Amino acid sequence: MGADEQPPDDPSNPPTVLGDADLFFFYLRGGRLEEQASKVIEAASAGRVNLRTSSEVYDDAISALRADEVPLGTVLSFVSDMKAISNSSMPMSAEIAEDALSMYMKHGGRRQLSYFDSMHLATAKRYGLPFLTSDQYVIRNAKILGVRTLDLAHWEP
């Protein structure tokens, strides 16, 4: 499935996607893809999309906020707001961690694959889910990375 292709439309079997941390940031903090993120979150709340996340998504969000020197109370509120969004976290395993680190060794670096995205991608691969993201490196290199991607900027739930 290409970056802009959608899973088949079947109301009795809504599409399942693994969302990137950026989905939560756009929804909760705004930004250029706030409208698209809101559509996905609303669709998940209404049962039209099964939203899954890597179990690392919370650490990803916390680390990003702390790197920006966001106060801990604000970080805690952000995590609580993430938790309130209809999603299910996929468990980490040694195999996922190993695949993620291998992927990061090959593709990681500045303006390339981030450590957390390697964890999310390895989770998506393990569970056979398309990865919903706005990360252009990941979208452009999906085939090389061995994942299916959906571009948040263009995907309509």
Is the pLDDT at 20 greater than 90? The verdict is yes
Greatest alpha-carbon pair distance for the chain in Å reads: 44
pTM beyond 0.75: the answer is: yes
| Angle, vertex CA 141, rays to CA 156 and CA 114, nearest 5 | 95
- Domains of the chain with CATH codes: 17-151 (3.40.50.1010)
Residues 6+ apart with CB under 8 A from 134: 20, 22, 26, 33, 151, 152, 153
> Half-sphere exposure (CA, 13 Å, Cβ side) for 101?
7
Q: How far apart are CA 50 and CA 32, in angstroms?
A: 23
Q: How confident is the model at residue 9 (pLDDT cuts 50, 70, 90)?
A: low
Residue range 27-46: average pLDDT? Answer: 97
Per-residue confidence (pLDDT) for residue 13, from 0 to 100:
87
